[in-house]
Structure 1
Amino acid sequence: FPLFHTAGSAVCVLGVLSHGATLLLVSVFDPVAVAKAIEREKPEVVGGVSTMIFAIIEAARATDTDVSCVQTVVSGGAMVQPELNRAAQETFGVPILIVYGQTETSPAITAAWPTDTGAELTETIGQPCSHMEVSIRSPSDNSVCAVDEQGEICMRGYNMMVGYNDNPQATSETIDANGWLHTGDLGSISARGYVKITGRVKEMIIRGGENLFPAEIEAALLEHPALAEVACAGVPDEKWGEIVACFLRLADGADRPSDDELRVFIRERLSPQKTPAHWVWVKEFPLTGSGKIQKFQLAESFVKGELDSDLV
């Protein structure tokens, strides 16, 4: 994790310091170099956002590097897809433990437990951390959503920020009158307290008045063995307002599937309106400093005609 990020500064530096452990830092993320460092230094814990974890797995497989020393893989910042978790289990011998949070919450809100198994481990972001509350609330009227109903993930607790520095307006837009911090993430919570994240409120695609969530489409497509990474975003359309553009990266050594094959594949899993209208192949994704895919940049490049696609 980069040190300017809450995961790097709070979790890694302060967490390692408080436990008297050794922290191995890399100045630039190079997946092959990181895989080789794991083989050489034999760390027990590896952390990174999902794009980085996937890159390390690919590098370890391609170079036949032994990373079996790892006992715990921690990832956060976004939902970890089930396919990635399965790949981690095959490569490291352990699943990915997801930690979900924000800088505004110092940073953790929910976490998976080492004893979690099955769908709770691969399809959720765990349960609320100790001494805090998590509530799923309607983005339209802030009412509490029912169990398993989708809404905005909100939290309150001792670890919340006081506010944004010298920006009371931004603070009031994030923390409501009842003290709930609105994360901007969409999700749901089960009767057992396991939280699912389904996307960002601002990333939601509104196609003909119907709300579509990129994370759901991405998770379905990542079950295809030829796809290494997938990112979906909304792009303008005269008829529907917005339609789904799907940006894909081919897995190493895989044959590129046709657009028709991908449409059939996704239709077996999701309803017609969730089928992407554009299929765009990329060699790499634009990333933030913390390693997250910049979907807005992909969408902007597509609209400007800088990326090719096939229109349904």
Structure 2
Amino acid sequence: MSLSYASGTSAVPLLGETIGANLDRTVAAFPDRDALVECETGRRWSYAQLAADVDAVALGLLARGVAKGDRVGIWAPNRAEWFLVQYATAKIGAILVTINPAYRVHELEFVLNQAGVRTLVAAPSFKTSDYAAMIEQVRGRCPALDDVVLLGEESWDALVDDGRAGDPAALAAAGAALGADDPINIQYTSGTTGFPKGATLSHHNILNNGFFVGETCGYDAEDRICVPVPFYHCFGMVMGNLAATSHGACVVVPAPGFDAAATLAAAEAEACTSLYGVPTMFIAMLNDPSFGDRDLSALRTGIMAGSPCPVEVMKQVIERMGMAEVTICYGMTETSPVSTQTRAGDSLDRRVSTVGTVHPHLEVKVVDPATGAAVPRGEPGELCTRGYSVMLGYWDEPAKTAEVIDAARWMHTGDLAVMDADGYVSITGRIKDMVIRGGENVYPREVEEFLHTHPDVVDAQVIGVPDAVYGEELMAWVRLRDGAEPLTADAVRAFCRDRLAHYKIPRYVHLVDAFPMTVTGKVRKVQMRAEAVELLGLGDGPGGSGTGAAPASG
């Protein structure tokens, strides 16, 4: 009997250096090659120019008193300055706190305080979000925050000017004091207990994960990677930026936020060889009116991740986009993120029915959730992963860290999986109630706790229901206080708007007098989902036939 355990062997050793040292090596090897292209503004950087600007930002931060271990927040959509701040903080050992551009005041305040952010670099605004106004709203309630730098405004220009006038010896001294195991990044994941948790990652964690994602995609200095996925997430900053800079490749930023037409235009104009996205992004690109006019012949590979890929979408990505070597990745923020990945030579079936095999230098196993023992191959259980990629822990939350990382340093993912005889892993479900909406992870408890703040809500339970576009949508089952006026879905959304990120706002609302319960008093969400699918006419799985035209019921 073969157990569900696999380890990733590799002739390529792990990198034992900091992100700054790795970037310096790449700059020395490829000074004149393209490093970064921002399509919206037409700005471009060679590796030599990138190094000069990164060092200027790093010295500017040092001049403002930012030191090793200080937390620096970045709250902005995808733009070149985001990239510069990522590498500048790494060079001085400041811990970059990446903040979701969709966050509202409620979430921003929590993250700034939980991480103890001292310096916040932010875009003044993006789309309908007035970041500058929201920052002012919370600033008095965030005692650690003593410096705000707004991109494109005087404060940013002053920081860069200070850095250009700074002493390079100070930056070299700061870099010499760093180690590869130092924490360098805090990424917030939606919390199962009401608020997000800050996964704390080291140079060693994310540099190596980016490097081996790039190795698995076959990257070299000739590659040009189109990155429409957000930088604030590991998909953008690790699988995109660090995979590129560790190989001398170029990052192409199509637009500040995802735009199908802009992404296709960027891939054509910059002759991109690789393209990233969650399945909904690829669906949008394939259906964009401009698709047929684009020359995507340079495309070779790419990554699809975030949620399962429908087989027809994968076929079209390979056939119509020319991405014959496209890969599927599986991971989580807490593991830097990638643990398994399909390979270029894998069959179409394996690329749509599995998430590949274990990554180099990592271990994965599937265990019985009750006993922790590895199950035989072919049997379901909880997927666990161990190795260089496992986070240092949740920032300032040792008890929550201990809930997911056991004494042997295995990260318990909460995902149900099956490993086949050849070591390919399929994700079959989730132990936790996480909802994946368009590639965004949403934990219902966070939304439930927020709904409880509504004066008329006695109790709320949130579930995921099938959706043809996003994979899943949120549905709130709500109990109202006696005598309260019935709440419509529009009223609930209005209550959430400006306080929760858009992807956490329930699309459907169902008013109930009671929830289905187990004998022991636990809410039966499995039964709720089954009833919801029937109630809304959504079919029986992701991509069900229902359109969800009725946004509220009860």
Q: State if a TM-score over 0.5 links the two structures.
A: yes
Match of 1:14 among 242, 246, 260: 242
**Counterpart secondary structure, 1:160:** coil
Aligned counterparts of 1:276 and 1:18: Cα–Cα separation in 2: 38
* Shift in Å, 1:117: 1.0
The question of 1:77 aligning with 2:318 is answered no
The question of 1:231 aligning with 2:472 is answered yes
Aligned to 1:307: 551
Deviates more, 1:231-240 or 1:88-97: 231-240
Match of 1:174 among 400, 404, 412: 404
* Shift in Å, 1:238: 4.4
CA contact 2:377–2:419 (8 Å) conserved in 1: yes
Alignment of 1:139-178 (within 5 A): 139-178=369-408
Aligned to 1:58: 287
Aligned counterparts of 1:188 and 1:102: Cα–Cα separation in 2: 17
Aligned counterparts of 1:238 and 1:76: Cα–Cα separation in 2: 34
Aligned to 1:201: 431
CA contact 1:106–1:161 (8 Å) conserved in 2: yes
Alignment of 1:284-303 (within 5 A): none
Alignment of 1:177-196 (within 5 A): 177-196=407-426
Aligned to 1:91: 320
Aligned to 1:115: 345
Aligned to 1:281: 548
Deviates more, 1:171-180 or 1:79-88: 79-88
The 1:29–1:198 alpha-carbon spacing in structure 2 relative to 1, beyond 3 Å, is same
* Shift in Å, 1:278: 9.8
**Residues paired across the two proteins, number:** 250
Higher RCO structure (Cα 8 Å, ≥6 apart) = 2
Taking only the aligned residue pairs, the percentage that are identical comes to 32
CA contact 2:261–2:290 (8 Å) conserved in 1: no
CA contact 2:471–2:542 (8 Å) conserved in 1: no
1:79 alignment partner AA: P
The 1:158–1:275 alpha-carbon spacing in structure 2 relative to 1, beyond 3 Å, is closer
Gap runs ≥5 in structure 2: 1-228, 436-462, 478-514, 518-523
Aligned counterparts of 2:236 and 2:278: Cα–Cα separation in 1: 11
C-alpha distance after superposition, 1:183-202 (max 9, x if no partner): 12221111100001123222
The question of 1:24 aligning with 2:246 is answered no
TM-score normalised over the length of structure 2: 0.40
The 1:161–1:52 alpha-carbon spacing in structure 2 relative to 1, beyond 3 Å, is same
Aligned counterparts of 2:376 and 2:322: Cα–Cα separation in 1: 37
Aligned counterparts of 1:50 and 1:14: Cα–Cα separation in 2: 22
Aligned counterparts of 1:10 and 1:275: Cα–Cα separation in 2: 28
CA contact 1:231–1:246 (8 Å) conserved in 2: no
C-alpha distance after superposition, 1:218-241 (max 9, x if no partner): 7xx9xxxxx555437787664974
C-alpha distance after superposition, 1:96-120 (max 9, x if no partner): 3111112222221001110111322
CA RMSD of aligned residues (A): 3.5
